[in-house]
Amino acid sequence: MGKWTFGHLVEQMANEKVTGVRPADFVERWIKHWNEVQTINGWSVTARAGVQRTFAKWPRLQDGSLDLARAPFRLLAIVNRVDLRDALVFGSGKASELRFVFGVLDPASCAPLKFTVILEYRVERTGCNELKEWARRWVELPALGQSAYNAGLEAITESVIRAGAAPDRPNGSALGQVRTNEIDVNEPDKLWEMREFRIAPSGPSEKHLVETAVLQTPDLTLREEPVLAEFISKHAGEIGENRHEVPLEFPPGNRFLAGSAKVPRRLFWQAMGEVPYEIRRNFSLATCNGCHAGETNTPFLHIANRERGSEPALSGFLSENGISVADPAGTTNSSRFADRERRGQDLATLVNESCMAEALRVPLRMVH
């Protein structure tokens, strides 16, 4: 299997030689999360039987296990999210997230579904020099020329995704989380839904993916509740600088973070009472379902699934020229979103400016 195939990546994160977990079993257990109601952070996440029906058509080997070499996933993008780095000038931590975006295919026809899966890896580094070296490797890729570009990129990605790349993490894998975005497999409400999974370090699902709360996104039922306004008011300063973190509970003892993120059309987040535009926008933009809907005028996917031989369509948020979006809450304000441009500028700044300048940078707490 190719180094950027879903099958290869799963083999590395299962790390069978160390864990004893067969990669096909690792995938099969993950798929079963959609078969039953899950309770995540106290919220019920409904089953979506269409997932099981879709993957029931996945070809199997003679022993009955899933044929990972024929996994119904098509690579859409490889993304370096160095803009999500921690403050590393004087210590260790996350230098970047390396992301593989896959589109799910109908296993029988290979037709692209409205279903994407993102494998997100933590890139750990220590100190400014290691951080800058990681960034430089990406900046220097185009100079290698077309023939050497893929080999250079493969060397970068293999250093992160290979089995044992992160000995202190579950399975020895650098995987941070898996995120899914889908609607084609949903029957009850016909809404897009986003879920999140991580490798369990212990417990009955140890060494396997388990479903977890979706980061930065309160449950949808709290949109018009006083508790949301209370949180935004209490953390307005951090929200204004894009460095807030939405906790599992708020206030303590009360479930807050969502088990999954449903995405009604044109959804955006707005708290009760008077909230300054920038604060409301930043909070909404940081949520999974706000960013993939009304806040950025996106019909859900920022990187769409694709046919074989074609390029994936990008949302206005990720387009080369960006997009201007009027405030969905109805004020006269508007914002220009050009996230690909922002990320490129951030990468160039990291490579070209001093470590002192990097030390003054305030880390983003965005998750997408």
Contacts of 182 (CB under 8 A, 6+ apart): 48, 51, 104, 113, 114, 115, 116, 192, 193
Q: Which two tokens stand for residue 72?
A: 């119904």
Rg, Å, the chain Cα set: 20
Contact by Cβ (8 Å): 101, 305: no
Element housing 8 (H / E): helix 6-14
- Digit-coded pLDDT (tens) for 126-140: 999 999 999 999 999
What pLDDT is attached to residue 350?
97
State yes or no: pLDDT of 150 exceeds 90: yes
Residue 352 has φ and ψ, to the nearest 5°, of -95, -25
pLDDT at position 189: 66
What is the rounded CA–CA span in Å between residue 27 and residue 174? 17
Question: Is the backbone peptide bond immediately before 72 cis, with ω within 30 degrees of 0?
Answer: no
Q: Mean pLDDT throughout 331-342? A: 98
Residues 6+ apart with CB under 8 A from 107: 54, 55, 57, 58, 59, 70, 72
| Gap between the Cα atoms of 301 and 336, Å rounded | 18
Residues in the chain: 368
- The predicted structure's pLDDT at residue 187: 64
At 220-275, the pLDDT tens digits run 999 999 999 999 999 999 999 999 999 999 999 999 999 999 999 999 999 988 99
DSSP state for residue 331 in the 8-state scheme: S
d(CA 190, CA 182): 10
Chain segment 43-100, per-residue pLDDT in tens: 999 999 889 889 999 999 999 999 999 999 999 999 999 999 999 988 999 999 999 9
Would the pLDDT of 335 be above 90?
A: yes
- Look at residue 90 in the predicted model and tell me its pLDDT: 87
Here the contacts of 308-313 (C-beta below 8 Å, separation 24 or greater) are 308/74, 308/110, 312/76, 312/77, 312/103
Percent of the chain with pLDDT over 70: 99
Distance (Å, whole) CA 283 – CA 238? 10
Examine the pLDDT at 337 and tell me if it is beyond 70: yes
Instruction: Give per-residue burial for 105-134: e unless 16+ CB within 10 Å, then b.
Output: bebeeeebbbbbbbbbbbbbbeebeebbeb
Contacts of 52 (CB under 8 A, 6+ apart): 31, 32, 34, 35
Cα distances from 35 to residues 49, 62, 177, 189, in angstroms, run 6, 25, 20, 16
pLDDT for 275-292, tens place per residue? 999 999 999 999 999 999
What gap in Å lies between CA 290 and CA 266, rounded to an integer? 8
pLDDT band for 354, please (50, 70, 90 cuts): very high
Quote the pLDDT of residue 49: 84
The number of angstroms, rounded, from the C-alpha of 3 to the middle of its chain's C-alpha atoms is: 20
Distance of CA 122 to the CA centre of its chain: 11
Residue 182 pLDDT exceeds 80: yes
Q: Which residues have a Cβ under 8 Å from the Cβ of 269 and sit 6 or more positions away? A: 223, 228, 280, 283, 284, 287, 290, 295
In tens, the pLDDT along 297-329 reads 999 999 999 999 999 999 999 999 999 999 999
- Provide, rounded to the nearest whole percent, the portion of the chain with pLDDT above 90: 92
Does 15 have pLDDT greater than 90? Answer: yes
Confidence of residue 184 (pLDDT cuts 50, 70, 90): confident
Task: For the chain, report the end-to-end CA distance as a whole number of angstroms.
Answer: 28
CA distance 337 to 334: 10
Res 185: pLDDT: 77
Average predicted confidence (pLDDT) for the chain: 96
